[in-house]
Structure 1
Amino acid sequence: MQKKTFLLAVLSFMILLSGFKSQEPINQSWIRINLLGYMPSGIKIAVWCSKTADIPSQFEIIEQETGQVVYRSSQIEAFGAYGPFKKTARLNFSGFNVKGRFYLRVNNTLSPMVIINDDVYQGTADFCLRYMRQQRSGFNPFLKDSCHTHDGFSLYGEKAGIKDSTHFDASGGWHDASDYLQYGTTSANAAYHLLMAYRDFPKVFGDEKQANGLDGKNGRADVLDEARWGLDWLLKMHPKKNIMFNQLADDRDHSSMRIPKEDNQYGRGFERPLYFITGLPQQRGKFKNNTTGTSSTAAKYSSAFNLGSSLFALQDKAYARTLSEKAKTAYQYALQKPGVTQTASVKSPYIYAEDNWVDDMELAAATQSFTRPNSHTKALKIASFYAEQEKTTPWLLKDTAAHYQYYPFINIGHYELAKQLEGDEKSKILGYYKAGIEQVWARAKKNAFYRGVPFIWCSNNLTVAFAMQCMWYGSLTQDKSYAALEQANLDWILGCNPWGTSMVYGLPSWADTPKDPHSAFTHLKNYPIDGGLVDGPVYTNIYNSLIGIKLAGADEYADFQSDLAVYHDDYGDYSTNEPTMDGTASLIYLLAAKEAEARAKTNQSTSLGAIIRGDSTQKKIALVFTGDEFADGAVQITKTLQKEKVKASFFLTGNFYRKPAFENAIRQLKDDGHYLGAHSNEHLLYCDWKKRDSLLVSKAAFDEDLIKNYEAMARFGIGKKDAKFFLPPYEWYNETIAEWTKAQDLTLVNFTPGTRSNADYTYPEMGKSYRSSDEIYRSIVSYNETKLNGLNGFVLLLHVGTDPNRNDKFYKRLPELIEYLKKEGYEMLRIDNLLR
């Protein structure tokens, strides 16, 4: 649907629904939304924007099918002017969890269609992979033709004994953007994001393409095929241990706009120049870059090779070995001359002026353990050393940067390092993430869009990266303080911005997305560039200073441009509307994370308002221990978990937390990085054993008891934000208890039924209720071997200690149980990571 047709259709619908005259001028107010949609249980925010001085007091949700008002709310947070608008406000409808298609209405202003469903992100990561395939050099599956097959001839390699114009096979890889230059830095970063997306969210991706990108399954996820396309080219860019190239072609490419072919503007037939990494400044024409060393590019290569090797180890051992060896030599190349390698330009002053490199070295060191476990301890120490050199990515602090000055736009090394650390060391690294987020939040909380990312060139890439940083911080700390900020940045990309457009070509297909990007594919042939993330808005003063920009048509967003920032869906604007390969790869990771989140919630099992099982399609499990008056197994359980490198979860009563004899055990569990949660203060029985609906406590008593549980936990530095899951005493509750728990801003959880693990507290004097350790163990094995999906997503509950009358302690068989679960391929996680 064309944009103007869509707006007219919405306006007509608005008039039909509104049985009263307009109370303000037409087209003076707008409602900006995430055009793709919202998850039912997720954060749901729209932004009211007006050129009048009015702020609404209420908004409505109208069901599309019936035209009926189904929700009214006054949850409106007013803000002042922003960009072209005099007044703005955040409309919060997070409490509306009904699935369907709707419109938001404020007075006579109607939003675009609002979709609420669990599947809004389904297939979006694979959709964006289309753009990556379209960017392929060598054989291009979109065109079903080849290009740039003669690359390339070397420059600047004399010190390594390589004469200028020596030929090296460098065909392949990805074109960087709408031109056909190719950079090692952006390609390595893109490959890493694709590999990481597959590693972290493998179930999200499909298999519809062959390795060459043409239709047909090949038994491997398409995202992994795409990542390998990038890795293969990076291997060519590092053919020997003393040879590494940074760049293929240069800005002479910009002499014309064309569909990719065999280019001949470099003076060597169809070959294009390969820029050798020397660690020294390089000059072609009148422009000289500020290269200071070899580290930034070489370290990125090393990281991508390390992660690639670990993921291909089971599929192609020879390839994995090659990647592992190249990771080592690339790392040594990075150490040759610490510093940054910048790109080279001949005719234009615009380059990738990367100015930081210790973040790349941190990631390269942190990934060494992926393929070389023996180097784990040493590698983490080195990574931690580099982490200290740049705690916060500079643009987060400075609120500005030159083009690609601080690249990648997120410090991935902090993420990979923190996952491998424990206790205070892990908290310290995550604190660096928090410090950067806080800097952006200080800016973002002043406007309705929660916009704190600077409008520099490729601002959309920074936006995606920042959303990832918020997401990683939240998942690794379970601190959800920045969840709304994270969502706001994703919403911005998908339409909740002043221009009301998604910044991703064709996503979603039914709404306003770029139609006239700065791309030869669309401009010359009208080929769709599905999934391409465009650069995004820039400061107006930057736009006005750029060379060679001239809009090709009328500005359809003229009403939304301002002295703050501009965005044009116009082929002539290369600064805001050119798609980038590396930005799209980052978006693929973020969209995969959102789809995986939705899938996990959809596949979770609940009972009477409590979550009782995680994603039943994933071989992941949570070992959960509860405790009240006994702790005789604490030491042995702790040592077993340490030896097996397993994280577990402990739900303990206030009685347990306050008992002096248990203090050392609790502190050790916390230091080891296990989840510590609440289990009530005095181990109350909430409801009758036979009549479950009959409550034995009042809400006041429930609240007071739970508050005291958290007060006891506070002595160990554990607050509500650290322990959002609550496991009820006796594992016995009803729907009312679940509602009271939710009112405390907590989530009720319970064990997964089916095994007898929770009976490990019984003893012989209990008669028929007693279960031996053999019987308990057999019940676990039997369930795994006989039930569909086995123990996938299980919350397997045991006890920290048991009555002295039980001599047959099941916790003594914990090593055997963990060995069995590992052999069966289960990953054991903290409960907050299983049920996130």
Structure 2
Amino acid sequence: MPPSRPLRLSAALLTGTLLLGGLATAPAAVGAPAATAATTAVRVNQVGYLPDGPKRATIVTTATQALSWQLRNASGALVASGSTVPRGADTPSGQSVQVADFSSYRSTGSGYVLSVDGAGSAPFDIRADLYDTLRSDSMAFFHHQRSGIAIDAALVGSAYARPAGHLGVAPNQGDTSVPCQATVCDYRQDVRGGWYDAGDQGKYVVNGGISTWLLVNSFERAERAGRDAALGDSTLRVPERGNGMPDVLDEARWELDFLMRMQVSEGRPYAGMAFHKVHDAAWTGMPLRPDQDAQPRELHRPSTAATLNLAAAAAQCARVFRPYDSAYADRCLSAARRAWTAAQANPALYAPASDSTGGGAYEDTRVTDEFYWAAAELYATTGESTYRDAVTASPWHTSADAFSPYGFGWADTAALGRLVLATVPNGLPASDLDRIKASVTAAADGYLSRMAAQGYAVPVPADGYFWGSNGELADDAIVMAVAGELTGDGRYRAGALETMDYLLGRNALGVSYVTGHGETSSQNQHHRFWAHQLDATLPHPPAGSLAGGPDSALQDPVAQEKLTGCAPAACYIDDIGSYSTNEVAVNWNAPLAWLAAYAAERTSTGGEPPTTACAVTYTVNNVWNTGFTVTVTVKNTGPTAVDGWQLAWAYPGGQRLTSAWNATVTQNGTAVSARDADWNRAIAPGASANFGVQGTHTGSNSSPTAFTLNGSACA
């Protein structure tokens, strides 16, 4: 077993590609059953696309010229066609790629196949309810991971049912009375419940805190959007359904109760602090069901980082749970206040990097970001000046680095404070709030820029494939989604959805990293109970479980043996032994569940795409043997004002733009994007905005036939 796990991520399917007739086709997955299908060169979201969302595919090919693409429905009828955009060498994947964009096709159906130069994609759907099942499955992951409760076959199916783990029932020594490691404390503590963090049976406060926060934040964001009914009571597979509490909050409460049990009681040393983690004294064997674990359990020394995770999650609980259970909200707020006070008294109690026997160390010697996050949550909940002053005095409050190059994560939480302050009404000065919101959109713009520069539209840097890379990608997508909420700019929603495309198959390996979703999906994730690869009587992971993703550092023996020489984005193998690339974790599934709920929201009553709310007139004013000028008119045909717009189209004849006026216009291959000039950003219902462009052509000056405004198609 690994001696240390600084971050968690999943595995990859292959070590390279085989070039056939210019198109690259991957061999069958290494370490996967022989029945696994070969991966096609046409990489798509294998689940599908939303009717009103972006629809792009990446094609692995050595061809340098544009290729023709055809979209066919389940009966084989041609429904759309076009030309790819060559992108050339894609550094993270080590591949040469082109991109096909069929976003203008909005009809719904199942079994679509995108073909390019004779190679076909995996079949996929286009429908408004595309993500409903993933929303449910990704949330069910947390119920599967519950400790201290029997997992009922009626909720999960007979293959996944099991007795309660770690309740002191033989052979368990249980979590109801756990001693500390030697020298840490001289008493025992009841720390039952909560979620097993990952594929082992440890429970970690720094992972549980951010994961709980994400689940509750998902519900709070849906409330702001008026779409919380989909996460309400009796919507998810939890045993508490029907109790009047939204099911997503029921699931979060299971972990919140555990987090509060990890708090040191009054009258003891470090009162109010939170123990960092609890797990077996040595690494848990494989395979092993939780209720069969006979090892002694140990509490590990309190840490400032764990304590501030508790403070932030409990303060958020006090705000969001109050309409449903005011007594529980009071209990959460009391725990949050105690944790904050204790952390202030012990601001540098760090988890040691050496504490990695039986569980990951999760060391973190910079906790100013956790202080900022916890203060922001306490201020947003209470409005009290003590917490406001802690927010404004924090160096993170004005830092340009609150959003790390990888968004946020269990060790980088300042961004969570920014997201809270940007979205929850509070009493900060307008200038502060404007700057905070601008920092969210600036971070999102950075992710969009990275996506535009890469063949697979990935929001992380080219060298950003480390342990838990899929979780970091999903975290970045959340920032983009929030930026879209703050601005109404459809580019950010498109970026979040395209990140989901990556997770579900549009990636260097052509594999869905989410079990049970997609034609070729991960199925041998590193887990003690979901261990079919080791024991045929045990199940594969349940649907909706996210593998950690490519890890170019190759931090386990299987990855080192099978993946040497892999390109960063291809350093993954679907093997249960590859814990550094193919493990699961609550802090990876939490952003997946957040994104699935976001993507599943209907854009209009009835779940169909919104009625076209814009009309575009493309008027060629002048044309000569090598050039042309055009006036573009965008009319708002909808009932509400447009505040900020971006118009997109593709040129069919290879035109190149050389200048523009009354808009900022950029071009990437055939794709053109025009953004408002600030002074014309607002378009009232029935009103129009005009701008002009000049360009060159090489004999063909055909006008574009499809336009999208803020991600939605125009007439």
Instruction: Give 1:479 deviation, angstroms.
Output: 4.1
1:352-385, CA deviations, whole angstroms, 9 ceiling, x for partnerless residues?
A: 2334423322222222245424x1x653443243
Other-structure match for 1:31: 42
Instruction: Give 1:571 deviation, angstroms.
Output: 0.9
Q: 1:477 to 1:177 in 2, by over 3 A?
A: same
Q: 1:418 to 1:370 in 2, by over 3 A?
A: closer
Other-structure match for 1:426: 433
**Amino acid of the structure 1 residue aligned with 2:279:** A
Do structure 1's residue 223 and structure 2's residue 248 form an aligned pair? yes
Do structure 1's residue 68 and structure 2's residue 77 form an aligned pair? yes
Other-structure match for 1:500: 510
Unaligned 5+ segments in structure 2 are 1-19, 27-39, 153-160, 168-173, 223-227, 616-638, 646-660, 664-674, 689-703
Instruction: Give 1:338 deviation, angstroms.
Output: 2.6
Other-structure match for 2:455: 448
**Amino acid of the structure 1 residue aligned with 2:260:** L
Distance in 1 of aligned mates of 2:604 and 2:287: 42
Indicate the percent of aligned positions where both proteins have the same amino acid: 22
- Segment of structure 1 superposing worse, 354-363 or 29-38: 354-363
Indicate if the aligned counterparts of 1:38 and 1:116 stay in contact, CA closer than 8 A.
Answer: yes
Other-structure match for 2:206: 185
Instruction: Give 1:325 deviation, angstroms.
Output: 1.0
Do structure 1's residue 312 and structure 2's residue 344 form an aligned pair? no
State how 1:150-549 maps to structure 2 within 5 Å: 150-151=174-175, 152-155=177-180, 164-201=185-222, 202-205=228-231, 207-208=233-234, 213-214=238-239, 217-240=242-265, 242-243=271-272, 244-249=274-279, 252-261=282-291, 263-266=293-296, 272-277=297-302, 294=304, 296-339=305-348, 341-342=350-351, 345-347=355-357, 351-373=361-383, 375=384, 379-386=387-394, 387-388=396-397, 390-393=399-402, 395-396=404-405, 406-408=411-413, 411-419=415-423, 420=425, 423-437=430-444, 439-440=446-447, 443-453=450-460, 454-508=464-518, 511-523=519-531, 524=535, 525-539=538-552, 542-543=553-554, 546-549=555-558
1:447-505, CA deviations, whole angstroms, 9 ceiling, x for partnerless residues?
A: 20123421010001100001111111222133445555433322111111011111111
SS at the partner of 1:171? coil
Indicate if the aligned counterparts of 1:75 and 1:93 stay in contact, CA closer than 8 A.
Answer: no
Q: 1:172 to 1:390 in 2, by over 3 A?
A: farther
State TM-score, norm by structure 1: 0.62
Distance in 2 of aligned mates of 1:747 and 1:551: 42
Q: How many residues align?
A: 577
Distance in 2 of aligned mates of 1:303 and 1:239: 17
Other-structure match for 1:758: none
Instruction: Give 1:42 deviation, angstroms.
Output: 1.0
SS at the partner of 1:549? helix
1:404-426, CA deviations, whole angstroms, 9 ceiling, x for partnerless residues?
A: 77335x72111111223564322
Distance in 1 of aligned mates of 2:94 and 2:574: 20
Indicate if the aligned counterparts of 2:211 and 2:586 stay in contact, CA closer than 8 A.
Answer: yes
Larger radius of gyration: 1
**Amino acid of the structure 1 residue aligned with 2:127:** N
Instruction: Give 1:218 deviation, angstroms.
Output: 3.0
State TM-score, norm by structure 2: 0.72
Among 676, 679, 684, the alignment partner of 1:726 is: 684
Q: 1:532 to 1:564 in 2, by over 3 A?
A: closer
Indicate if the aligned counterparts of 1:154 and 1:276 stay in contact, CA closer than 8 A.
Answer: no
Other-structure match for 1:593: 598
More helix by share: 1
Do structure 1's residue 139 and structure 2's residue 146 form an aligned pair? no
Distance in 1 of aligned mates of 2:610 and 2:417: 35
Distance in 1 of aligned mates of 2:44 and 2:261: 44
- Segment of structure 1 superposing worse, 105-114 or 139-148: 139-148
Distance in 2 of aligned mates of 1:385 and 1:597: 41
**Amino acid of the structure 2 residue aligned with 1:249:** H
Indicate if the aligned counterparts of 1:479 and 1:721 stay in contact, CA closer than 8 A.
Answer: no
**Amino acid of the structure 2 residue aligned with 1:182:** K
RMSD across aligned positions (CA): 3.9
Instruction: Give 1:600 deviation, angstroms.
Output: 6.3
**Amino acid of the structure 1 residue aligned with 2:584:** P
Distance in 1 of aligned mates of 2:300 and 2:429: 41
Instruction: Give 1:239 deviation, angstroms.
Output: 4.8
SS at the partner of 1:314? coil
Indicate if the aligned counterparts of 2:285 and 2:528 stay in contact, CA closer than 8 A.
Answer: no
1:711-739, CA deviations, whole angstroms, 9 ceiling, x for partnerless residues?
A: xxxxxx99459946532269xxxxxxxxx
Indicate if the aligned counterparts of 1:126 and 1:206 stay in contact, CA closer than 8 A.
Answer: no
Indicate if the aligned counterparts of 1:354 and 1:405 stay in contact, CA closer than 8 A.
Answer: no
Distance in 1 of aligned mates of 2:540 and 2:95: 39
Distance in 2 of aligned mates of 1:383 and 1:568: 43
Distance in 2 of aligned mates of 1:483 and 1:608: 17
Indicate if the aligned counterparts of 1:55 and 1:88 stay in contact, CA closer than 8 A.
Answer: no
Instruction: Give 1:26 deviation, angstroms.
Output: 8.1
1:227-269, CA deviations, whole angstroms, 9 ceiling, x for partnerless residues?
A: 1101111111115351421111256133443110264433xxx
Distance in 2 of aligned mates of 1:49 and 1:393: 36
Distance in 2 of aligned mates of 1:248 and 1:120: 38
Q: 1:57 to 1:317 in 2, by over 3 A?
A: same
Q: 1:171 to 1:445 in 2, by over 3 A?
A: same
Q: Per chain length, whose mean CA-contact separation is higher, i.e. which structure has more relative contact order (CA < 8 Å, sep 6+)?
A: 2
Q: 1:89 to 1:378 in 2, by over 3 A?
A: farther
Instruction: Give 1:137 deviation, angstroms.
Output: 0.7
1:251-299, CA deviations, whole angstroms, 9 ceiling, x for partnerless residues?
A: 6133443110264433xxxxx111231x5xxxxxxxxxxxxxx2x2222
